[in-house]
């Protein structure tokens, strides 16, 4: 009984590990997109880009934001109950079902 519980806990932790890696990639993408948006805003504010910039790149910026938000919503789920486990930095246990999703720090 104890070994099957330990095996289940280990399988949930190992199933959550790729989700954490993908979530890190999503956060890097958000960082890049937000900084590119701010850079474009300031370039526009200093008249270093043309007036049609917003019409050209604005919709693409919106599409990227929607794709990143969807990737986050689909990826950041508990492998056991498929609910959001909580914040990225603090998630050791799922807030919905209580299952351990990350190993204890060594």
| Inter-axis angle of helices 2-45 and 53-75, nearest 10 | 170
90 burial type by CB count under 10 A (0-12 exposed, 13-18 middle, 19+ buried): exposed
pLDDT tens digit sequence for 88-101: 656 788 888 888 88
State the pLDDT at residue 54. 63
pTM: 0.65
Q: How confident is the model at residue 102 (pLDDT cuts 50, 70, 90)?
A: confident
State residue 71's pLDDT score: 84
Domain ranges of the chain: 1-106
């Amino acid at each position: 009984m104890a070994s099957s519980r330990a095996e289940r806990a280990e399988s949930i932790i190992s199933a959550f590990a790729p989700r954490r890696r993908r979530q890190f990639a999503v956060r890097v993408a958000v960082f890049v997109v937000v900084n590119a948006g701010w850079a474009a805003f300031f370039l526009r504010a200093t008249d270093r880009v043309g007036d049609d910039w917003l019409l050209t790149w604005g919709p693409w910026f919106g599409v990227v934001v929607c794709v990143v938000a969807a990737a986050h919503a689909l990826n950041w789920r508990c492998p056991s109950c498929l609910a959001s486990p909580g914040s990225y930095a603090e998630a050791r246990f799922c807030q919905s079902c209580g299952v351990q999703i990350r190993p204890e720090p060594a």
